[in-house]
Amino acid sequence: AAAAEEERVVRKRLLDQSLVSRGEPPVKRLYRRYGEFCRAVQGGGAEEAAAAREEVLRELAVFDYLAERAGSVQAAHSSDGAQYAGEKEALDGAVERGEQEVLE
């Protein structure tokens, strides 16, 4: 349940670009570049369409990188959470054993 919540938060941050400190969010940039590409293909010349294509591919690579980075951050957090849960369980067990010893 916690992992699903964390994934939801990371996806939201990726979409609204809380992970990016300045400039236009990558999703909006990609959308804008794709629109420019479509207009260039429909009404522009071959050179303009080729340049717009390169811009779309560049923005797509940036977006892919950011998604991969967000996935890596999520995996690290999940791993840390699992490690914490294991350590907490061990500590809780030690505390419980200590309380039992005191009561005996």
| pLDDT tens digits along 2-27 | 777 777 777 777 666 555 556 778 88
For the stretch 91-104, pLDDT in tens is 999 999 988 888 87
- Residue 81 CA to residue 66 CA, distance in Å, equals 22
In the predicted structure, residue 82 carries a pLDDT above the cut 60: yes
Question: Over the range 4-35, which residues count as b (16 or more CB within 10 Å of their CB) and which as e?
Answer: eeeeeebeeebeebeeeeeeebbeebbeebee
Single pTM value for the model: 0.57
For residue 60, the one-letter residue type is L
Q: How far is CA 15 from CA 44, 69, 72, in A?
A: 30, 13, 16
Looking at residue 16, its pLDDT comes to 66
Looking at residue 31, its pLDDT comes to 92
Question: Closest by alpha carbon to 6, among 79, 65, 74?
Answer: 74
In the predicted structure, residue 56 carries a pLDDT above the cut 90: yes
